Amino acid sequence: MTDKLNILFLFADQMHAFAMGCMGNSEIHTPNLDRMAEEGVLFRNTYSNAPVCSPFRATLVTGQYGSQTGTLSNSSYFPDGTCTVARALNNGGYRTGWVGKWHLGGTGNTWVPPKLRADFTEFVGYQCYNDFLHSIKFYDEEGEEHWYDTHRTEVTTDIAIERLEGMKGGPFALFVSYQNPHYPEQPAYEYEKMYEGVTLTQRPNCQDVEPYTRTHSPPSPKPKENDPVYKKYGNDLGEYHRQYYAMVSQLDANVGRMREALNRLGLLENTVVMFTSDHGDMQGSQGLTNKGTAWEESSRIPLIVYVPDGAQGLVSEDLVSGVDFFASCLDYAGLPPEPSVEGDSFAPQTRGEWQVLDRPLFSEMRTWCMVRKGDLKLVSTKDPFEPTHLFDLGADCYEMNNLLGHLDYTRIESELLAILRDWYQRVSPAENGHG
């Protein structure tokens, strides 16, 4: 047992912030996440700085924005020499490990070579493969292929627990990357049955759209009407929602398994546990599917943090985003800040110390960027740089009333636009003509 805190970082794939009971959703079954929120801190206003798989992961491991590292598309990778959270923790005496989906520098059901592992020294995973029931294989550090006949979610947890057992001498930082509830929705039978025939409440901004989204790894063209996948939720948004909730509930059960393993191994009272997601899922809101947009359902993500002997039952409304994870991990580890990291540590708040995180928050993709300050959120195109949406999320949490150009908001619109433009000019590479 070490006197240093261990770090267990769990994250979902395509889980929006509103798919948890502790976020006020009474129709979804997430008892383990809800319990973790009661025992720790729930951050209600957490965002992905680039709400797509690879860009989020690049920010997670570098603490920098996608414009800074050139990682605003899937399968991208950041520049050589960039300091990573694993390198900083390795240098601080931590064992670092990764289990699960990687999706940096490639795609496919393939091995991740050492040069693409962002300095994680223990690594069991795969690049990216969107199937939870078939071709479940993970690759170890040497590239050896291991096949499994269990649901991908359960396998990810099984391997993570096995790795925990090997790292329990600590201190360690283990990152576990789940693929739930990313499409195609393939929950295990017991979780699918939980929502069978249940009518779920759609968000007020939701429109009835075709929910099926094609995957690229493996390729999945839109199924025909007699295809089993199509029968599940083809052209049926309600069924897609049920399947999605089932996937989240299965993930929740596995978060419970991970915490039980910490307890069994005597690590629960010496390990910080974080749970979040890379991005959300539009699933009909604003008439859209998938992710990659500035809308709340795409860019806003869950965040629950448990710290031994820390704050309990705290609900924080402060703004937090992906660039803050690197800084927070170093803080929990008792290590000095990394100068290249853009974010701030939220660790003091979770330890029960007085802290107010009062700063603007930014998100972006190739064609747009967004700033949120307080309850106000401004979205702009990048080239040309022109504002498109302004929302007061305190009064309009479903973003149904665009205040851009409204006389009462002229001053705040100008202030937010100046903040966003200054940020964009600072983070954009000089060759783009904005630096």
pLDDT at 1: 47
**Token match 């795409």: residue?**
298
**Structure pTM?**
0.97
Answer for the pair 91, 84: CB distance below 8 angstroms, yes or no. Answer: no
Provide block-wise average pLDDT over 10 residues at a time, the chain (435 residues): 87 98 98 98 98 98 98 95 98 98 96 98 97 97 97 98 95 98 96 97 96 88 76 87 98 98 97 98 97 98 98 98 98 98 98 96 98 98 96 98 97 98 91 42
Answer for the pair 179, 248: CB distance below 8 angstroms, yes or no. Answer: no
Domains of the chain, earliest start first: 6-357 (3.40.720.10), 367-432 (3.30.1120.10)
Residue type, 373: K
pLDDT at 186: 94
pLDDT at 393: 98
Pairing of strands 172-181, 95-101: parallel
pLDDT at 430: 57
Residue type, 416: L
d(CA 102, CA 117): 8
> What are the structure tokens assigned to 321, written together?
């985003």
